[in-house]
């Protein structure tokens, strides 16, 4: 399991055997969380790509192996690069001279035909059949680790980072959902404070073009035995369309580690935007 | 294990302070007693905080700079520019050749001669531009220092790029000071940034845009089908880097183009002769244009990357008079441009407007927060999270091009666009209100007057595909990695997309006997007001730029929208035929 769902609200009844069982299960869950966090942050770290804004990334020979049936996440130098450029299907050569009679024929655009062709996806589609929302992600960048009706957990392929998308009925406000997610974060992070560095500021939080709220925090990630192991950065946003409330949480280990000309947190957050752009709040419409 | 924390950017402060106070690097040169001071026009930002001072610039090193001239007819110029685009006016569509512009609005030859004589007295070579907006000057560092009373000091930024900075204030003889508006280009710190955003190339259906998909999605195909491919037309690109000609040949081969004209290079004094960090930008501009207008003559005007670097390039484009469509994909936060530099550049853009030249300028890739820098090497003191817009896109004499995220069907047909924004990464198409430039009369229409309007220039005017997720496939020679291929977005792509589309419109106009399109900004607003919603523009109503949302009519994220090119071309030509 990856990043777990937030705990349910406390039951209003007195403690019973069910409650005790629930507490036991909860305890086990917390242990599982710690174990996952430990595993996550102890994974062999992919080397940081020297890939700066304004440049196309260079191939990194020491990257984790990519399955042979998937394209490399990075552009390749020639000669392999040439075939990767897709020539336009059909005739591509523009006439060198005007076709006969062209100059006498005014350009009158034809009506645009209606197409039934499928919409191009920007990546893999993830969909909740229970809550009817979906989004797309690039499997070369993100690995799906866990998936339930309301939650999907991804690990970054190249960075020490995790992304969690969670949806709940809109009775839970964005602020409440953010608080729930942060409560879970607090089970493995200490000293969590708001990150006030302008460099990390979250400007214009939104999910799937629905304006929301959110903020950035920093703290220290604990190992499963409670030992501080590394700084961590947490960015959480939430928004609601009146039917669902959705949160997007991005957790980054060593957020200020330099990657190219930026930080690891910036790089990861930039890659996480694809989830937001493709987010469909209601797949039935 | 989690890697060690790295927090280097908080350590840059001390270096940056020294950079901001450039005088700490040397002694100002003594001023001539008979001279008055022209404010050193370019602030020393030393944006790469780890910049290193190398010492005095060698006396024999070649130096280029520009003397920007006062326009005594500025008030008359404003009236003329208004009449130029006002139907029924005696000056309507009466564009001026550069010599005419100079004679009408510029200094007299009698007043310019002493300025040239002063420059030549110091051993410098001076070339007056025919529109009399500026003088291009060159000489050695020693000659420049002696004449202007400044010391030139070499620095090297974190990327290893060497540049020189003037220490002291430029002194101009008192009798010339009223006519010399600014001395520009002495600080060659590369501050102007490309607006290109690359992503790694992905395979599969979601691959980036190629010429055929662009042409189909934006309805350029009808123009191609009518034989409009840019043949006989000329388009200019403004560049602060250069390109590898074989990349263009490779592009032609990849996409089956034959018989295209090689890209012409006009390299101004001081421009880099080798590909650098901005080579991808130049390649993007060329390839986007070539994919839309493969037979057009592309001229790449390359100049030195200084914060006031648009002056020599734009003045040269106007003087040459060959291209009526220009694409700019470089810029900087307008707050970083010194007022005197911006005024000098605006004079050049106004001269271009008067010449009937349409300049398409990318609105920047930092969404509504253009002054926010995100590179870790940037000077933390320069970070500014207040809303801001890019320059020169905020010029009232250019057409500002914002960014969209394009969704297509697998057969290449258009589905929809959203204003390009990246809430987590902080990117997006630039847009908002200028703090410096006033809104021109021609910027009007549904949505333009809104609750945020304050009389200042509102950008962008239009939009095009810019989100790297739906970016253009570009193959080019990188200065470090050799030949690479990637999917590139940014408003850097949207600007040449619009410029090339309007070049085909110009070709259609010429075919149908319309002499010239003129500056297209006013025409686009006029047509938007006349045409039904969605008829010639895709009115983009989703997305935004992290501060402003896209919505019906004009908005701060996507302006009037993206083009349905053939339909828009038809409407423009019909409007100009009336």
DSSP A128-190: ETTTTEEEEE-TTTEEEEEE-SSEEEEEESSSSEEEEEEEEETTS-HHHHHHHHHHHHTTTEE
Contact (Cβ atoms closer than 8 angstroms) between residue B36 and residue B149: no
3-state helix, strand, coil in chain B (%, to 5): 30, 25, 45
| Interface contact flag, A88 B211, Cβ < 8 Å | yes
**pLDDT classification of B179: cutoffs 50, 70, 90:** very high
> In the beta sheet, which residues pair with residue B156?
B52, B162
Cα–Cα nearest to A174, from A204, A214, A201:
A214
Tallying the residues shown for chain B, one arrives at 578
Cα–Cα distance, B406 to A29 (Å, whole number): 42
Cα–Cα distance, A210 to B551 (Å, whole number): 13
**pLDDT classification of A111: cutoffs 50, 70, 90:** low
What are the φ and ψ backbone dihedral angles of B494, each rounded to 5 degrees?
-70, -35
Quote the radius of gyration of chain A (alpha carbons, Å). 23
Contacts of A52 in chain B (CB under 8 A): 375
The CA distance from B475 to the nearest CA of chain A, in Å, is 8
Compute the mean pLDDT over every residue in chain B, rounded to the nearest whole number. 87
Contacts of B466 in chain A (CB under 8 A): none
What are the φ and ψ backbone dihedral angles of A8, each rounded to 5 degrees?
-70, 160
pLDDT at B336: 82
The CA distance from B146 to the nearest CA of chain A, in Å, is 39
Tallying the residues shown for chain A, one arrives at 285
| Interface contact flag, A203 B385, Cβ < 8 Å | yes
Contact (Cβ atoms closer than 8 angstroms) between residue B218 and residue B501: yes
Please tell me which residue, B211 or B51, carries the higher pLDDT value.
B211
Q: How far is CA A153 from the centre of its chain?
A: 9
What number is the ipTM of this complex?
0.82
pLDDT at B189: 84
Q: B474: nearest CA in chain A?
A: A85
Cα–Cα distance, B561 to B541 (Å, whole number): 9
Contacts of B295 in chain A (CB under 8 A): 94, 96
What are the φ and ψ backbone dihedral angles of A267, each rounded to 5 degrees?
-65, -45
Interface of B with A in 264-293 (CB under 8 A): 277-278, 280-281
**At a CB cut-off of 8 Å and minimum separation 6, what does A190 contact?**
A219, A220, A222, A228
Would you give the DSSP letter of residue B280? H
> In the beta sheet, which residues pair with residue A109?
none
Would you give the DSSP letter of residue B440? P
Give the strand pairing for B264-267 and B297-302.
Answer: parallel
List C-alpha distances in Å: A230 to A191, B2, B39, B335, B504. 12, 6, 50, 38, 57
The least confident of B99-108, B133-142, B325-334, B481-490 is B481-490
User: Is there a cis peptide before residue B460, judged by omega within 30 degrees of 0?
Assistant: yes
Interface-testing mutation among A67, A72, A203, with chain B (most B C-beta atoms within 10 A): A203
* Coil, helix or strand at residue B372: coil
User: How many Cβ atoms are within 10 Å of B217's Cβ, its own excluded?
Assistant: 25
Contact (Cβ atoms closer than 8 angstroms) between residue B550 and residue B540: yes
**pLDDT classification of B197: cutoffs 50, 70, 90:** low
pLDDT at B39: 41
**pLDDT classification of B371: cutoffs 50, 70, 90:** confident
Residues B460-471 have pLDDT tens digits of: 999 999 998 889
Task: Judge whether B501 is closer than 8 Å to chain A, CB to CB.
Answer: no
Quote the radius of gyration of chain B (alpha carbons, Å). 23
Pure H helices in B177-269: 211-217, 221-225, 245-255
Query: What does the pLDDT average to over B408-416?
Result: 91
Residues B199-219 have pLDDT tens digits of: 544 433 346 899 999 999 999
Cα–Cα distance, B523 to B517 (Å, whole number): 9
Contact (Cβ atoms closer than 8 angstroms) between residue A87 and residue B219: no
| Interface contact flag, B5 A231, Cβ < 8 Å | yes
Cα–Cα distance, B572 to A210 (Å, whole number): 36
List C-alpha distances in Å: A256 to A40, A80, A199, A221. 18, 35, 10, 14
Please tell me which residue, A1 or B574, carries the higher pLDDT value.
B574
**pLDDT classification of A50: cutoffs 50, 70, 90:** very low
Contacts from A221-224 at CB under 8 Å and sequence distance 24+?
A221/A37, A221/A41, A221/A188, A221/A189, A221/A253, A221/B2, A222/A34, A222/A37, A222/A188, A222/A189, A222/A190, A223/A34, A223/A37, A223/A38, A223/A41, A224/A31, A224/A34, A224/A35, A224/A37, A224/A38
* Coil, helix or strand at residue A31: helix
The CA distance from A88 to the nearest CA of chain B, in Å, is 5
Q: Which residue from B194, B226, B422 is facing A54, i.e. has the nearest CB?
A: B194
Strand ranges inside B95-133, DSSP E: 125-128
* pLDDT over 90 (residue B120): yes
The CA distance from A135 to the nearest CA of chain B, in Å, is 14
Please provide the DSSP assignment of B480-541 as one string.
TTEEEEEEEESHHHHHHHHHHHHHHHHHHHHHTT------HHHHHHHHHHHSPTTSSEE---
Helix axes B339-354, B74-84, angle to 10 degrees: 40
Q: What predicted TM-score, i.e. pTM, was given to this entire model? A: 0.82
Would you give the DSSP letter of residue A32? H
User: How many Cβ atoms are within 10 Å of B322's Cβ, its own excluded?
Assistant: 13
Show the tokens assigned to B450. 């809104």
Percent of chain B with pLDDT over 70: 87
Show the tokens assigned to B419. 């204003």
pLDDT at A213: 98
The least confident of A32-36, A219-223, B26-30, B222-226 is B26-30
Show the tokens assigned to A241. 């369309």
Contact (Cβ atoms closer than 8 angstroms) between residue B300 and residue B263: yes
* pLDDT over 90 (residue B38): no
Task: Judge whether B295 is closer than 8 Å to chain A, CB to CB.
Answer: yes
**pLDDT classification of B329: cutoffs 50, 70, 90:** very high
- Full set of structural domains in chain A with CATH: 139-277 (2.60.120)
Residues A154-202 have pLDDT tens digits of: 999 999 999 999 999 999 999 999 999 999 999 999 999 999 988 899 9
Please tell me which residue, B328 or A68, carries the higher pLDDT value.
B328
Task: Judge whether B229 is closer than 8 Å to chain A, CB to CB.
Answer: yes
Contact (Cβ atoms closer than 8 angstroms) between residue A139 and residue A67: no
Question: How many cross-chain Cβ pairs, A to B, lie less than 8 Å apart?
Answer: 285
């Amino acid at each position: 399991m990856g990043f777990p769902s937030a705990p349910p609200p406390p039951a209003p009844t007195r403690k019973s055997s069910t409650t005790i069982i629930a507490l036991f299960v909860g305890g086990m869950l917390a242990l599982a969380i710690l174990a996952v966090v430990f595993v996550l942050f102890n994974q062999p770290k992919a080397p940081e790509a020297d890939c700066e804004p304004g440049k196309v990334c260079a191939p990194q020979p020491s990257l984790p192996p990519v399955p042979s049936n998937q394209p490399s996440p990075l552009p390749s130098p020639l000669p392999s690069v040439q075939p990767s450029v897709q020539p336009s299907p059909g005739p591509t050569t523009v006439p060198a001279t005007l076709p006969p009679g062209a100059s006498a024929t005014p350009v009158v655009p034809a009506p645009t035909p209606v197409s039934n062709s499928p919409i191009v996806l920007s990546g893999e589609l993830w969909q909740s059949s229970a809550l009817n929302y979906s989004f797309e992600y690039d499997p070369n960048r993100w690995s799906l680790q866990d998936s339930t009706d309301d939650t999907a957990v991804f690990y970054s392929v190249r960075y020490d980072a995790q992304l969690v998308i969670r949806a709940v009925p809109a009775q839970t406000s964005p602020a409440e959902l953010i608080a729930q997610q942060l409560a879970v974060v607090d089970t493995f992070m200490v000293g969590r404070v708001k990150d006030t560095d302008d460099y990390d500021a979250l400007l214009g939080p939104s999910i799937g073009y629905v304006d929301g709220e959110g903020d950035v925090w920093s703290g220290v990630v604990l190992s499963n035995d409670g030992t501080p192991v590394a700084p961590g950065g947490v960015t959480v946003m939430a928004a609601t369309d009146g039917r669902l409330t959705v949160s997007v949480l991005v957790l980054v280990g060593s957020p200020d580690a330099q990657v190219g000309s930026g930080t690891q947190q910036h790089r990861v957050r930039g890659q996480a935007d694809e989830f937001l752009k493709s987010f469909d709040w209601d797949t039935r419409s | 294990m989690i890697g060690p924390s790295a927090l280097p950017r908080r350590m840059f402060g001390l270096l940056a302070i020294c950079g901001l106070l450039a005088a700490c690097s040397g002694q100002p040169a003594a001023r001539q007693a008979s001279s008055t001071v022209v404010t050193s026009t370019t602030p020393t930002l030393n944006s790469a905080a780890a910049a290193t001072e190398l010492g005095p610039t060698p006396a024999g090193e070649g130096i280029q700079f520009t003397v920007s001239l006062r326009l005594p007819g500025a008030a008359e110029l404003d009236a003329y520019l208004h009449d130029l685009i006002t139907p029924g006016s005696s000056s309507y569509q009466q564009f001026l050749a550069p010599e005419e512009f100079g004679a009408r609005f510029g200094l007299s030859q009698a007043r310019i001669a002493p300025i040239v004589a002063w420059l030549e007295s110091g051993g410098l070579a001076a070339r007056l531009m025919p529109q009399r907006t500026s003088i291009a000057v060159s000489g050695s560092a020693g000659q420049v220092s002696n004449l202007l009373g400044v010391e030139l000091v070499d620095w090297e930024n974190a990327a290893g790029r060497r540049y020189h900075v003037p220490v002291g204030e430029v002194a101009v003889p008192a009798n010339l000071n009223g006519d010399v508006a600014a001395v520009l280009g002495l600080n060659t710190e590369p501050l102007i940034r490309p607006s290109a955003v690359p992503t790694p190339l992905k395979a599969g259906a979601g691959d980036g845009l190629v010429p055929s998909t662009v042409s189909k999605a934006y309805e350029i195909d009808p123009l191609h089908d009518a034989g409009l491919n840019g043949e006989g037309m000329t388009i200019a690109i403004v560049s602060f880097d250069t390109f590898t000609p074989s990349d263009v040949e490779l592009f032609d081969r990849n996409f089956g183009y034959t018989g295209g004209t090689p890209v012409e290079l006009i390299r101004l004094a001081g421009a880099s002769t080798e590909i650098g960090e901005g080579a991808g930008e130049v390649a993007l501009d060329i390839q986007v244009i070539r994919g839309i207008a493969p037979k057009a003559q592309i001229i790449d005007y390359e100049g030195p990357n200084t914060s006031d670097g648009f002056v020599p390039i734009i003045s040269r484009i106007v003087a040459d008079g060959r291209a009526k469509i220009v694409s700019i994909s470089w810029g900087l936060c307008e707050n970083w441009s010194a007022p005197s530099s911006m005024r000098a550049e605006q004079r050049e853009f106004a001269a271009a407007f008067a010449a009937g030249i349409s300049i398409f300028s990318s609105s920047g890739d930092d969404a509504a927060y253009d002054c926010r820098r995100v590179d870790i090497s940037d000077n933390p003191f320069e970070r500014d999270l207040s809303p801001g817009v890019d320059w020169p896109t905020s010029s009232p004499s250019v057409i500002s091009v914002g960014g969209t995220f394009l969704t297509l069907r697998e057969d290449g047909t258009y589905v929809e666009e959203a204003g390009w924004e990246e809430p987590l990464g902080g990117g997006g198409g630039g847009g908002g209100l200028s703090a410096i430039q006033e809104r021109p009369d021609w910027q009007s229409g549904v949505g333009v007057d809104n609750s945020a309007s304050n009389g200042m220039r509102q950008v962008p005017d239009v939009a095009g595909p810019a989100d790297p997720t739906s970016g253009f496939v570009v193959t080019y020679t990188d200065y470090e990695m050799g030949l690479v291929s990637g999917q590139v977005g940014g408003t850097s792509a949207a600007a040449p997309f619009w410029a090339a589309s309007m070049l085909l419109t110009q070709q259609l106009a010429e075919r149908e006997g319309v002499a010239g399109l003129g500056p297209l900004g006013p025409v686009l607003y006029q047509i938007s007001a006349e045409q039904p919603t969605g008829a010639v523009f895709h009115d983009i109503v989703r997305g935004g730029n992290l501060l402003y949302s896209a919505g019906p009519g004009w908005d701060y994220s996507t302006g009037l929208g993206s083009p349905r090119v053939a339909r828009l071309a038809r409407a423009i030509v019909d409007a100009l035929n009336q």
